[in-house]
Structure 1
């Protein structure tokens, strides 16, 4: 019987997979590697090992969820390709979960008095640019995912009235710009996890919010620029 939800997180340097029960959303297991550029060689190995170590088979999968982005272009492509391949081969649904709402969900779930704060995940997009969004504790967005070039006035209208928690790989760049603002609270070492992808994907599965396996593409947020190498 297809009873498991497999979740993949490849939007960051962390390569992570998790298994949840589709019956009630309980976590069965998770594993991750914090190695730069490890996704292409390790993702399928992590999937196989986690499924085997929990006493299951690929045939037990009932759905696959993938981190939808924004984030690393290459990482998102690798995650999407693996998820689509599994869904096509097993004839099971594909679910996509935004990286930014999953990060906010992850932090809100472990924050005391979460309703007192706004939650602002920031992912590094190089230089002073970040991928960011802003959420209430109940996951309602106040700012939809966007790419933002940071300066001292960024998000000033929200920081003037509420305490905002900032976290993710791009948050440190903003910390120096708003130093001294008591409403800006920065949380270190918050990384995307496959567990939070799975938790939100479980809700999406119940609502049958499935992706088209053939045509799904990750949410890159902005165009990817490539350059032609100079000849020697």
Structure 2
């Protein structure tokens, strides 16, 4: 596992988190005013103390790279670079808007019909009923499930797999939505419920999913052959049809009616490039015709009066910048060794900094 210290200072929120792999160990965040120069180093020490870690335990530092506040980004990036240089560890840069989009919860408002997130593979009522149970299952994987997950996670086979993901009325072990493939890892109890498993498979097939099963012993004792069979299935199956799902639009206030923004899909992939956009009634018109768009962030409120008239525009208070999601993205980058040059890395300001004179000095 990798211990990653995450820093988020692109907006008024000062956020620091420390994670061990995908597990969040500690987080400290506070908003309301630009006081990052006073808070950041204090927050870093606090999360280290809460997690029972020292600076020597850190494997990498992840920082929100922008766009956002010029001063906030300078403070966050300078601190991250200083730590990496002093400790001799890698620096990971994470796009601020992408991290915000990842910080939106799955139980989003008004996502019926085609606006429903594509990873909802059952109706919304059943999804909410099964979600907590699925989370509990993820916390208590079997030995065989842990072995197989090491090979499926972070798109190692070329496709995203989800653990304990609800489909119809069931919670399969592993699901690849793009390829409509379900992998079940069976313990000995399944030897006595073959009829139930047959019915379950038939229902999952009716939902368009291919189901393959492996016994615990196969996974633990012959993982290479199991992975080879999964690869063969992935290659043989066509990619599922991409439906018109919900789009995520994080917005950071860039003053007046301008915002830093981008569009992401349900899998956190970039749909429309990052830009400084002046919002008017025609903004996002092309995408709003065919998608519901969730707008959020400190720049969304001032755009609400203009954009909320469209039936496909949804606004939420969630999706604020957080070091927690910076670390989630950084974890995959760490595994892929996507590191920055500590000496030459600069924040992504998007716009040139313009110095002004304080009004009280005029």
What are the equivalent positions in structure 2 for 1:182-193 lying under 5 Å apart? 182-193=311-322
Give the number of the structure whose residues are more often strand, by fraction: 1
What is the Cα deviation at residue 217 of structure 1? 0.4
Give the structure-1-normalised TM-score: 0.93
The answer on 1:136 being equivalent to 2:265 is yes
The answer on 1:102 being equivalent to 2:99 is yes
What is the Cα deviation at residue 108 of structure 1? 5.8
Equivalent residue, structure 1, for 2:348: 219
Tell me, yes or no, if the aligned pair for 1:169 and 1:190 is still in contact at 8 Å: no
The answer on 1:85 being equivalent to 2:214 is no
Equivalent residue, structure 1, for 2:69: 72
Match of 2:46 among 23, 36, 49: 49
Tell me, yes or no, if the aligned pair for 2:28 and 2:46 is still in contact at 8 Å: no
Equivalent residue, structure 2, for 1:117: 246
Give the structure-2-normalised TM-score: 0.60
Equivalent residue, structure 2, for 1:6: 5
What is the Cα deviation at residue 227 of structure 1? 3.2
What are the equivalent positions in structure 2 for 1:195-206 lying under 5 Å apart? 195-206=324-335
Tell me, yes or no, if the aligned pair for 1:120 and 1:167 is still in contact at 8 Å: yes
Change over 3 Å in CA distance of 1:129–1:122 after alignment to 2: same
Q: Matched residue of 1:177: which SS?
A: helix
Change over 3 Å in CA distance of 1:73–1:109 after alignment to 2: farther
Q: Matched residue of 1:139: which SS?
A: coil
Structure 1 stretch 222-231 or stretch 5-14: which is displaced more?
222-231
Q: Deviations over 1:36-66 (max 9, x none)?
A: 1220011011101110222111100000000
Question: Which structure would you say has the larger Rg?
Answer: 2
Tell me, yes or no, if the aligned pair for 1:108 and 1:114 is still in contact at 8 Å: no
Tell me, yes or no, if the aligned pair for 2:84 and 2:91 is still in contact at 8 Å: yes
Tell me, yes or no, if the aligned pair for 1:108 and 1:137 is still in contact at 8 Å: no
Equivalent residue, structure 1, for 2:302: 173
Tell me, yes or no, if the aligned pair for 2:251 and 2:261 is still in contact at 8 Å: yes
Change over 3 Å in CA distance of 1:51–1:215 after alignment to 2: same
What is the Cα deviation at residue 114 of structure 1? 2.2
Tell me, yes or no, if the aligned pair for 1:16 and 1:193 is still in contact at 8 Å: yes
What is the Cα deviation at residue 121 of structure 1? 0.6
Count how many residue pairs are aligned between Structure 1 and Structure 2.
Answer: 229
Unmatched runs of 5 consecutive residues or more in structure 1: none
Tell me, yes or no, if the aligned pair for 2:104 and 2:318 is still in contact at 8 Å: no
Change over 3 Å in CA distance of 1:139–1:3 after alignment to 2: closer
Which whole-Å CA distance do the structure 1 matches of 2:309 and 2:50 have between them?
48
Q: Matched residue of 2:34: which SS?
A: coil
Tell me, yes or no, if the aligned pair for 1:165 and 1:185 is still in contact at 8 Å: yes
Tell me, yes or no, if the aligned pair for 2:103 and 2:320 is still in contact at 8 Å: no
Give the number of the structure whose residues are more often helix, by fraction: 2
The answer on 1:156 being equivalent to 2:285 is yes
Change over 3 Å in CA distance of 1:158–1:17 after alignment to 2: same
